[in-house]
Structure 1
Amino acid sequence: MNVIVCNTADEMDVIASKEFVDLISTKPNAILGLATGSTPIGLYKKLVQLHKDDKLDFSKVTTFNLDEYVGISQEHACSYHTFMHENLFKYVNLPKENINIPDGQAKNLEEECKKYDQKIEDAGGIDLQILGIGRNGHIGFNEPGTPFDAVTHIVTLDQGTREANSRFFNSIDEVPTKALSMGIKSIMHAQNIILMAKGADKAEAIYNTINGPVTPVVPASVLQLHPNATIILDKEAASRL
């Protein structure tokens, strides 16, 4: 596990974006695993700028997002379909047919999960997976207690996760109680993983991820077992290290 502590959030985003440039320049048809939430927004802005500067071509890239809420439409302002469109997809030349996000409105959610894992396998697996981390150590929507061998599955969101995500909604009552999430096993199959964390409220989770035991109680701790995992932090998130 490689840990990088940065002075600013912008420095974090520059370092992470360089990994994308290096990958796509050597493998134009790269398979990218993408995350949502506040943390990767700066990274996506860097990728958009790199695309505009003709340094990053997404025309052969395929993407798989980590998760999506159950029970809200893809057009909902707080859906992760909308988030990705507004923060990255509409600004770059990524073919629509190469974008993959779990369908939280599928008639058969369990079948949707199986199909999603099969799509990833058929694509050849994820080359580079971006992760954020929840205050409770979750990655994707894999809450504490999720088995490490879990594949894409239906998740009941912890109250703390719903409270943290309520800032994107009008109230916590509007935050869905369930989501579809790429499983920990699915995430760990990625060739390379970058976890980014910003802010003092993530310091405890980061400490437990890096220095604590490898345990499902802290889902992100499993990254200690990955051969190519990099954790990029600002000083606040690294304050307990």
Structure 2
Amino acid sequence: MRLVIRSDAGTVADYIAEYIKQRIIQFEPTPEKPFVIGLPTGSSPVGVYKRLVQLCTDGSLSFKNVVTFNMDEYVGLPRDHPESYHSFMWNHLFKHIDIPPENVNILNGNADDLQAECERYEAKIQSYGGIELFLGGIGPDGHIAFNEPGSSLQSRTRVKTLAYETIIANARFFGGDVSKVPKLALTVGVGTVMDAREVVVIITGANKAIALAKCIEEGVNHMWTVSAIQTHPRSLVVCDDDATLELHVKTVRYFKSIEQVQDEMIGRENLGLYGQVAGPLRYTAIPSGN
């Protein structure tokens, strides 16, 4: 697992948007071989979406051959409700970029058969050969998508009862009225996310600091479902300084030192997207002592 630390939420968003841009460009997607990306909602990705829109607007990135699958949707909330995740995605991203509407996939929280809708969603992901990159944010309790504490780390797309803490947290989007917050949601499972060929997680703010510490410094635990990415062969966490407040000082220094070595001894131009050496080194050997 890679951990990249930036100064604030803005520079985190810059880093992730540029990373996604480079991943899409290097993939060279076509209509027959689209780049398939999983996307989150909530406050965490808003800055990333804003920057992706800018990249598309200035012509440096196209979504014409990109297929998206969103992580979750409320049950029973009309699709055009301002707080539905369908509305969120169109308002923050889709209506501002050149993605074909038929390439957008969002769970239907008003389906007659919710279980069948979840099974259909999993099958459609598989019909594209799986997800290339899953972008995710987390809650303060370390949940990814709506896989709240106690969720199986092998879980698939399903109907999920929301924890009271989540309902309280989301009440701010419903005028502070808890009674208006949906109590059920459809969500991809931890296993669905882990099946992606790469997982990138956004973690910003002091209120996510404990969750980051659980994810980085402790073991895999279904009470902190984001910790499952420890076992993923290609996972990246990008956080800001505030989110590191609960990490040990030596942990922060370790991950920052890796970037320092990359900058000073290898050169970023010689590194691939995954941190591997991709070109001739400018490294100068240090003479050994007697």
Shorter-chain TM band: over 0.9
Q: Indicate the residue corresponding to 2:267 in structure 1.
A: none
Alignment of 1:149-160 (within 5 A): 149-160=154-165
Distance 1:237 1:165 in 2: 21
What is the total number of aligned residue pairs between the two structures?
Answer: 241
Provide the aligned C-alpha RMSD in A.
Answer: 0.8
Is 1:115 paired with 2:120?
yes
Q: Indicate the residue corresponding to 2:16 in structure 1.
A: 16
Q: Indicate the residue corresponding to 1:34 in structure 2.
A: 39
1:134-161 CA distances to partner (integer Å, 9 max, x unpaired)? Answer: 1111100001111111110110000111
Distance 1:149 1:116 in 2: 16
Distance 1:2 1:214 in 2: 16
1:208 deviates by 0.7
1:26 deviates by 2.1
SS at match of 1:64: strand
1:29-75 CA distances to partner (integer Å, 9 max, x unpaired)? Answer: 20010000001000000000000110111011100000000010110
Q: Indicate the residue corresponding to 1:141 in structure 2.
A: 146
Code of the aligned partner of 1:100: N
Q: Indicate the residue corresponding to 1:203 in structure 2.
A: 209
Distance 1:182 1:217 in 2: 17
1:230 to 236, 245, 256: 236
Q: Indicate the residue corresponding to 2:180 in structure 1.
A: 174
Is 1:184 paired with 2:190?
yes
Code of the aligned partner of 2:4: I
Distance 1:5 1:168 in 2: 29
1:169 deviates by 1.1
Give unmatched runs, 5+ long, in structure 1: none
Distance 1:158 1:62 in 2: 30
Distance 1:14 1:40 in 2: 11
Distance 2:137 2:221 in 1: 18
SS at match of 2:243: coil
Distance 1:230 1:164 in 2: 26
SS at match of 2:86: helix
Give unmatched runs, 5+ long, in structure 2: 248-290
SS at match of 2:14: helix
The worse-fitting range, judged by mean Cα deviation, of 201-210 and 62-71 is 201-210
Task: Decide whether the 8 Å contact of 2:8 with 2:242 is kept in 1.
Answer: no
1:210 deviates by 1.2
1:215 to 221, 224, 242: 221
Is 1:75 paired with 2:80?
yes
TM-score, length-scaled by structure 1: 0.98
Distance 1:26 1:235 in 2: 30
1:98 to 82, 94, 103: 103
TM-score, length-scaled by structure 2: 0.82
SS at match of 1:141: coil
Q: How many percent identity over aligned positions?
A: 40
Task: Decide whether the 8 Å contact of 2:9 with 2:205 is kept in 1.
Answer: no
Is 1:164 paired with 2:175?
no
Computing the radius of gyration from Cα coordinates, the structure with the larger value is 2
RCO greater where, 1 or 2, for CA within 8 Å and sep 6 or more? Answer: 1
